[in-house]
Amino acid sequence: MEELVGLAKRRGFIFQSSDIYGGLQGMYDYGPLGVELKNNLKAAWWRAMVYNRDDVEGLDAAILTNPLTLRYSGHEATFTDPLVDCRACKSRWRADHLESNKCPNCGSDDLTEPRPFNLMFKTQVGPVDDGSSFAYLRPETAQAIFTNFKNVVDSTSPKLPFGIAQIGKAFRNEITPRNFIFRVREFEQMELEFFVKPGEDEQWHAKWVEERLNWWSEQGVDRNQLELYHVPADELAHYSKATVDVMYRFPHGLEELEGIANRTDFDLGSHTKNQAEYQIQAKVEPNPDSNAKLVIQDLASKQWQVPYVIEPSAGVDRGVLAIMNEAYRVEDLGDGKQRTVMAFKPHLAPIKVAVLPLKRNHEGIVTKAREIRQSLQKLGLGRILYEDTGNIGKGYRRHDEVGTPLCVTVDFQTIEQDDTVTVRNRDTMNQERIPVSELGHLVQAHLSAEHNG
Ligand code: ATP
């Protein structure tokens, strides 16, 4: 983990937030390469969940949420972690994360009994600070999918089964944020709510677990580093009938990367006005505050139904950490030499191609290299970098370390003889001379999303 954190900072992937003022616990900022990696991961998810399917629509809803949404979702009452205080040193801990009944800070066993601590952040809305006009920062993106259910159904007329996908920030006032970007207070989620007919929920749950395992493999996560955890009944969230967690062997241990829950008709049911009419299975309280009927009509039987929902919910930041951990390797090159490589799948690599002029002061070479960079950029494959530090060997090493799949070197032969360039492959370290006219095609083939997720 230390090596990853060091590389992340040195190369501009991830920084401690508010660093110059001593940081803010549980917050991280993504730097020039981190933002590219994170965007590429989110784009890969969106391609798999929305573009490659005919049964999913997207959504991008507000972060600040009406407290009623989170009251009827059950979060106000139950979205808590057990908090204990150490009476000796005044530190606070999450009871279920303690390895013994001693304070990890000072070793005292004088701890309070655990008490529920609500993880939601609140903020004032509008200019009057009388405590009555507040909103929550959403603790999951899912609720806005449920509250927009009717809007999406009315505007797209889907038939069951169908899904609504969303990627966005979520906030949890974690008692002890830790392990770099693994457990933070501000993070991003990629969530799909997949609505199905009641009775078909269990088979769809199993199917989504399989789909999600395959997707993580396509992102370069070794299947052997993933394990499924069938959450026991006494650990299930209040809305869940069954949850399967996709666990990944993070540098600090085996922990949850994604949770795939069968949320039944709990959420749509809770936000629906007249629940008795729709034979909602979940035990939910009546909802006098809602005007909504979050139901769908079965075209064959003409019956109104509250669909069940299967939710694959993945953390973007945990995904970035897993992918960086999988990609990171130190290779022995013989003669006591080593290289560090981030072997990202090309579609995730922050920089797709680096174009390097052999001489940084040679006008002909520089102009040609810039032209090549522009023409590759126009292919729309992601970031193409022009870099004129003048030392090609060092350039290759640096780009190995940030995971750039291809480097293109422009030299005298390019401009004076045959319009060819050297293409250097990150993984094989092979160098190949090819005509500039074939470069676009080669780069496209190497990076094409079809071939790597
Ligand atoms: P944990 O048990 O690790 O706290 P959780 O079961 O509360 O996680 P879910 O509510 O299932 O998490 O959230 C779905 C996904 O959101 C998680 O699988 C994880 O990837 C991500 N996530 C949740 N909490 C955090 C956090 N504090 N920091 C980063 N990612 C998080």
**Is residue 428 scored above 90 in pLDDT?**
yes
SS3 365: helix
Ligand 1 contact, 186 CB (< 6 A)? no
Q: In the 8-state DSSP scheme, what is residue 270? A: H
**Is residue 415 scored above 90 in pLDDT?**
yes
Measured distance CA(88)–CA(69) in Å, rounded? 39
**Centroid of ligand 1 to alpha carbon of 402 (angstroms):** 27
- Please give the pLDDT value at position 284: 76
Ligand 1 contact, 314 CB (< 6 A)? yes
The rounded radius of gyration (Å) of the Cα atoms in the chain is 26
Beta strand extents in 383-428 (DSSP E only): 384-386, 406-410, 420-425
CB 116 within 8 A of CB 83: yes
Ligand 1 contact, 183 CB (< 6 A)? yes
Mean pLDDT across the chain: 93
Q: What is the mean pLDDT of residues 258-264?
A: 97
**Centroid of ligand 1 to alpha carbon of 313 (angstroms):** 8
Residue 252 in tokens: 């600090």
**Is residue 129 scored above 80 in pLDDT?**
no
CB 141 within 8 A of CB 61: yes
pLDDT band at 280 (very low <50, low <70, confident <90, very high): confident
User: Which comes out higher in pLDDT, residue 372 or 450?
Assistant: 372
**Which of 126-130, 229-233, 294-298, 360-364 is most confident?**
229-233
Question: CA-based angle 98:216:224, to the nearest 5?
Answer: 70
Question: CA-based angle 18:23:24, to the nearest 5?
Answer: 95
Ligand 1 contact, 317 CB (< 6 A)? yes
**Is residue 350 scored above 90 in pLDDT?**
yes
Measured distance CA(61)–CA(146) in Å, rounded? 11
Percent of the chain at pLDDT exceeding 70:
98
**Centroid of ligand 1 to alpha carbon of 255 (angstroms):** 10
**Centroid of ligand 1 to alpha carbon of 320 (angstroms):** 14
CA nearest 442: which of 432, 452, 450?
432
- Please give the pLDDT value at position 128: 81
Measured distance CA(50)–CA(167) in Å, rounded? 11
**Centroid of ligand 1 to alpha carbon of 420 (angstroms):** 50
Residue 132's CB is within 10 A of a number of other CB atoms, namely 9
CA distances to 34, 112, 161, 170 from 283, in Å: 43, 33, 23, 26
- Please give the pLDDT value at position 101: 87
Helix orientation angle between 2-10 and 316-327, rounded to the nearest 10 degrees: 100
**Is residue 163 scored above 70 in pLDDT?**
yes
Beta strand extents in 105-201 (DSSP E only): 115-118, 121-124, 134-137, 162-171, 186-196
Measured distance CA(54)–CA(243) in Å, rounded? 25
- Please give the pLDDT value at position 451: 53
Measured distance CA(449)–CA(251) in Å, rounded? 28
- CA 187 to ligand 1: nearest atom: 29
Ligand 1 contact, 424 CB (< 6 A)? no
CB 396 within 8 A of CB 402: no
Residue 98 in tokens: 């303690």
Ligand 1 contact, 318 CB (< 6 A)? yes
Phi, psi of 123 (to 5 degrees): -145, 150
Domains of the chain listed by start with CATH number: 2-64+140-323 (3.30.930.10), 351-448 (3.40.50.800)
User: Mutation test of ligand 1: which of 166, 181, 318 has the most ligand atoms closer than 8 Å to its C-beta?
Assistant: 318
CB 351 within 8 A of CB 426: no
CA nearest ligand 1 atom 19, residue: 315
Tokens 């940084």 correspond to: 360
Measured distance CA(59)–CA(337) in Å, rounded? 49
**Centroid of ligand 1 to alpha carbon of 185 (angstroms):** 10
- CA 318 to ligand 1: nearest atom: 20
CA nearest ligand 1 atom 9, residue: 259
Q: What is the pLDDT of residues 393-406, one digit of tens each?
A: 999 999 999 999 99
SS3 358: coil
Question: What is this structure's pTM?
Answer: 0.94
- Please give the pLDDT value at position 221: 97
* Strand-pair category, 92-94 with 80-85: antiparallel
Q: What is the mean pLDDT of residues 249-264?
A: 97
Ligand 1 contact, 414 CB (< 6 A)? no
Which contiguous run of DSSP H or E holds residue 332? strand 328-334
Non-local (6+) Cβ contacts of 157 within 8 A are none
- Please give the pLDDT value at position 450: 54
**Centroid of ligand 1 to alpha carbon of 28 (angstroms):** 16
**Is residue 452 scored above 90 in pLDDT?**
no
Which contiguous run of DSSP H or E holds residue 337? strand 337-342
Q: What is the mean pLDDT of residues 320-342?
A: 95
- Please give the pLDDT value at position 130: 77
* Strand-pair category, 162-171 with 56-59: parallel
